[in-house]
Amino acid sequence: MTLLVQYAVLCCVAAGLVTGAVALVIARDGRAALRIALDFWLAAGLLRLGAAAGGEPLLATAAIMAVRQLVAWSLRRPAR
């Protein structure tokens, strides 16, 4: 993985943390903040997938996408 892609991945992870925290503070909605953060973290995983060759990064990205979909699905359900 090139140095530029590593920095892009790091920026996506940091952006997910920052925007998730900002969304939590401004909107006071933990679900929305988590969805925003997960989107950035998914982008970081996809960047890593595009830079690496082989099946291992593909499996890791598929796992990230599956977790993101499960969390988004559970957040859409009304709270009891």
pLDDT in tens, 24-51: 999 888 888 888 898 898 888 888 877 7
3 state SS of 54: coil
Determine the structural domain holding residue 44 and report its residue range: 3-76
What total of structural domains would you count in the chain? 1
68 has pLDDT over 80: no
pLDDT for the residue 80 = 64
Q: What is the pLDDT of residues 45-57, one digit of tens each?
A: 888 877 766 667 6
Average pLDDT, the chain: 82
Contacts of 49 (CB under 8 A, 6+ apart): 57, 58, 60, 61
What is the pTM assigned to this prediction?
0.67
